[in-house]
Structure 1
């Protein structure tokens, strides 16, 4: 992923596109529509899709759309700033940030059916009195056989 995002391209680097929606409109504009623009649009959506899915499964804090948009937007903005600073022939665009954040939200929604089973730390947080004592590990006597415990 890092290779695709930061790979140098021929051309002038350090260009910035501040107009939101310009890249999306160009994909659907009959005069300038090209295959590479559509691939770039889809790629921007897919860039943070897996991260959005995995983050919500691992950390329940990310299971709110606003939080996901905020964090994914900050990550995407950081990627765009690094691309701009590297001057690697890439255009830093607000569309990329928006599409990356949308991809993270799509990833979050795709794994929503698994939210109840993933990311729960109930076993770790349960008090010792609620744990099954038959399977507890006794650290001071870890080499004893089960009958000796």
Structure 2
């Protein structure tokens, strides 16, 4: 039973299969949120609901995979690499371009859903620099968790850079729709100032 559960939640293949299996539930969750918002008269109900569910659905599996423990998890101390691009150059120098390609593409996709959808959901995040900072901060937290939990993984600055760049590129891809989000946010009703009562002049 333990081996069976590990095959589902402790391997890349298992995470992929679970992600595919829960897709109908993600769609159902987005539909339920949108329906509730439409009842209450919320603007852009579908966009907000799809963005929220999409951020979770498109980010959690990637974080899950990079948090999977290695073969010597708990037995070896955490490792840190703080020299930018050194890890990628090391992989290329070893003659493993396929491995380097997979690592680069995978790291670019970790927070791509966040970068694409967060500006559409939150007008305050409709900025590439803000998305870069958000993704970099989230990536630092993940790398720190890998180190503290001793998962037999290298906490690398390259991962942080690639995670942030991937989110930034995804944000640029959705930039054409930011204006709608910003305009809807600006159209929200604001509290009108209280009228000033003027005392009539007494002759």
Once the 2 structures are TM-superposed, how far is the Cα of residue 97 of structure 1 from its aligned partner? 0.4
Cα distance in 2 for partners of 1:127, 1:17 equals 51
Task: Please give the alpha-carbon distance, in whole angstroms, between the structure 1 residues aligned to 2:91 and 2:181.
Answer: 37
Q: Could you say which structure has the higher helix fraction?
A: 2
Gaps of at least 5 residues in structure 2 are: 1-60, 193-203
**What RMSD in Å do the two structures reach over aligned CA positions?**
2.1
Q: How many residues align structurally? A: 127
Instruction: State yes or no: 1:116 paired with 2:179.
Output: yes
SS in 2 for 1:125: coil
Q: What's 1:132 paired with? A: none
Q: What residue number does 1:10 align with?
A: 71
Residue pairs, 1:76-91, within 5 angstroms = 76-91=139-154
Q: Which of 96, 105, 128 matches 2:168?
A: 105
Matching residue of 1:144: none
CA distance in 1, matches of 2:126, 2:134: 12
Query: How far 1:15 moved relative to its partner?
Result: 0.9
CA apart distance, 1:28: 4.0
40 and 13 in structure 1: CA distance in 2 versus 1, 3 angstrom threshold: farther
Shift in Å at residue 23 of structure 1? Answer: 2.5
Runs of 4+ aligned structure 1 residues displaced above 3 Å come to 26-29
Task: Report the Cα offset of residue 69 of structure 1.
Answer: 1.7
By how many angstroms is 1:127 displaced? 6.9
Q: What does 1:1-149 correspond to in 2, within 5 Å?
A: 1=61, 2-11=63-72, 12-29=76-93, 31-118=94-181, 120-125=184-189
Aligned-partner Cα distance in 1 for 2:177–2:91:
34
TM-score normalized by structure 1? 0.74
SS in 2 for 1:116: helix
Q: Is the 8 A contact 1:26 1:37 kept in 2?
A: no
* TM-score, L = length of structure 2: 0.56
Query: Which whole-Å CA distance do the structure 2 matches of 1:3 and 1:65 have between them?
Result: 25
Which one has more relative contact order, counting CA pairs under 8 Å at least 6 apart?
Answer: 1
* Inter-partner Cα distance in structure 2 for 1:104 and 1:28: 24
Measured in 2, the distance between the counterparts of 1:17 and 1:122 equals 44
